[in-house]
Amino acid sequence: MIERGNVLWFGPRPDDVTECEFRNRELTLVFPTENVDEGQFIGARVAVFYFSGSTLTAVRQSFVRECARAVNHGLLVYLLAENDAVQDHIGTLIPMIEDPHKPLRRTKPVLHHEIAEAGARHKPGREYNASLKLEGSPANDLSPDDRFFLHRAFNDCTAIELTSLPGGRSGTVFSVQATFRDSRAGPRPLPFFAKIDDAKKVKTEHDKYQDFATYHIPFNFRPNLDSTRCIHGATRGVLVGNFVDKSDSLWEIARKGMGSRLIHALFEDTLRGWRSQAGRREPIDGPVAGALRTIVDVNKVRQENVEFARTQGVIDAPNEVWEKLLGLRNQSYRVAPMHGDMHGENVRVRGNDAIVIDLLSVIGEGPLSADLAGLETWLAFETAPSDRSDEEQKRWMRFIDELYEPTAIKRLPALEGLDLSFTWLRDCVRQIRMIACTTQQCDSEYQTVIAVYLLRRSMYPGDSKADTVRRGYAFLTASRIVAHLVEARDA
């Protein structure tokens, strides 16, 4: 028998022939009352809203009230209108649903079997499990909608325990220790990760895993999604995959002085499938910054960062800095898929493996040097709790001035410096630039992408006084690099 075989029908009852088509496909028509019982959604796969005659207003009210619930439960939403005028009216109601879940819309006449066949082919996914227990302190802070998607994603479990994970600025991420209700291998599987976010973002990241990871990143160098547990609702959704267990962030490993070899593994092994695409495409002539316009918006550069730079003699506004980058001549670059948000928390380390996570920001074509610059600037400008004293900030600024003096970006940092406390960062930057120097297509490419990522860093507020200072210093450093590039162009 077909699973979740109910069809919720709102509006005038279909004719006998159409009802027969549903029965032939083991689908059962259910005609809900004004208040739809949650159990009816759990056992259903289709919701049909038939806008016709004297019931039009009542059906419209049902649609507005129940459509989001239907989508969240995974139902196919089918809007059937009596005529074109009614269909046009229905169109004004559609924006309440996110793009991945726009309903099917048809105007009569339709073939008797059409709705039944569409319903039979639809896959509603996992049904809601009301008895699932959500444990762990993060569960208490979840909204009812977000809890709902976990009840669907882990419907084969009796309980799940959530632990919050650090991450980027998008979504809420957990490790999930599940207890299966019925498993031949035992009730305690390896941990999952679950990321709850806006429906569009969940759908986008799911697609990017499919398009960019499945065939281009080895399975042991990335999380693997469980597509049956990934759910895209009306406005929210959840992404689920295997958790990179017993791992540390690259940020933690790097500060212990062991980052260099993992950075090599990241770009030469983990991302080899992406980066090898650059050799199969002709270089692109044009401003390098123009290829990175999707990752930076200079209109969002924080005013406090601009004001800090002005106290150091910088007079250019963010737009002026960006326009100077776009005005650079004789630039070229090779392109390949790029992560777009490469930083020390988006790379997990297990043994000698560098495992890349969070593919929401992946771009199909970006400069081959971009992810290198993104990781370098993040490591150099990120703030750890131990970095927050005034004296530590002054020492850090002196080191950054050495590291990002414009001409210094084009060469490797010395193996050792007078200040041994930054040896870990010196080693990481040295390894990154070893790759960057052989990656860039023109002499100014890496300087340009470094400047772009520093501008990007200055777009966000600091989470501490020290972090705010570092973001201001990022804008200052970017401005200095760009001024040098312009001077070299005009020489």
CA distance 238 to 480: 42
CA distance 430 to 428: 5
- Residue of 269, 259, 268, 267 whose CA lies nearest to 428: 259
Q: Residue 165 in contact with residue 194, Cβ under 8 Å?
A: no
Helix 318-326 × helix 465-490 angle, to 10°: 40
User: Tokens 């002026």 identify what position?
Assistant: 320
Output the pLDDT for position 100: 45
Structure tokens at 376: 């370098």
User: Tokens 């976990």 identify what position?
Assistant: 150
Q: Pairing relation of β-strands 248-249 and 236-242?
A: unpaired
User: Tokens 């040098």 identify what position?
Assistant: 484
Structure tokens at 488: 């070299």
- For 225-252, the pLDDT digits (tens) are 999 999 999 999 999 999 998 999 999 9
Q: Residue 271 in contact with residue 356, Cβ under 8 Å?
A: yes
User: Tokens 């890496």 identify what position?
Assistant: 446
pTM attached to this predicted model: 0.90
What is the pLDDT confidence band of residue 103, given thresholds at 50, 70 and 90?
confident
User: For the purposes of burial, counting CB atoms within 10 Å of the CB of 311, is it exposed (0-12), middle (13-18) or buried (19 or more)?
Assistant: exposed
Output the pLDDT for position 37: 85
Output the pLDDT for position 154: 98
Domains of the chain, with CATH numbers? 6-121 (3.40.50), 133-242 (3.30.200), 248-490 (3.90.1200)
Output the pLDDT for position 421: 81
Averaged pLDDT, 306-325: 95
Q: Residue 91 in contact with residue 121, Cβ under 8 Å?
A: no
CA distance 75 to 424: 53
Q: What angle do CA 237, 238, 244 make, to 5 degrees?
A: 160
What's the 3-state SS for 439-482?
Answer: HCCCCCHHHHHHHHHHHHHCCCCCCCHHHHHHHHHHHHHHHHHH
Helix 144-153 × helix 56-72 angle, to 10°: 60
- For 258-290, the pLDDT digits (tens) are 999 999 999 999 999 999 999 999 999 999 999
Percent of the chain with pLDDT over 70: 96
Averaged pLDDT, 88-111: 75
| DSSP letter for each residue of 416-442 | --S-GGGHHHHHHHHHHHHHHHHH-SS
- For 396-427, the pLDDT digits (tens) are 999 999 999 999 999 898 887 766 789 999 99
Residues 6+ apart with CB under 8 A from 109: none
Structure tokens at 207: 């697609």
Question: Which residues partner with 366 through β-bridges?
Answer: 336
Output the pLDDT for position 296: 96
Q: Residue 42 in contact with residue 64, Cβ under 8 Å?
A: no
Radius of gyration of the chain from Cα atoms? 27
Does residue 95 register a pLDDT over 90? no
CA distance 115 to 375: 51
Does residue 2 register a pLDDT over 90? no
Chain CA centroid to CA 381, Å? 22
Output the pLDDT for position 35: 79
- Residue of 427, 430, 397 whose CA lies nearest to 411: 430
Chain CA centroid to CA 137, Å? 24
Question: Which residues partner with 47 through β-bridges?
Answer: 8, 77
What region, left, alpha or beta, does residue 168 occupy, with left being phi > 0 and alpha being psi -120 to 50 degrees? beta
What's the 3-state SS for 223-244?
Answer: CCECHHHCEECCCEEEEEEECC
Q: What is the dihedral of CA 179, 185, 186, 190, to 10 degrees?
A: -50
- The residue count of the chain comes to 491
Q: For 80, phi and psi rounded to 5 degrees?
A: -110, 120
Question: Which residues partner with 162 through β-bridges?
Answer: 176
Q: Residue 478 in contact with residue 317, Cβ under 8 Å?
A: no
Does residue 459 register a pLDDT over 50? yes
Does residue 383 register a pLDDT over 90? no
CA distance 175 to 195: 9
Q: Residue 339 in contact with residue 359, Cβ under 8 Å?
A: yes
Question: Which residues partner with 46 through β-bridges?
Answer: 7, 76
Q: Residue 322 in contact with residue 355, Cβ under 8 Å?
A: no
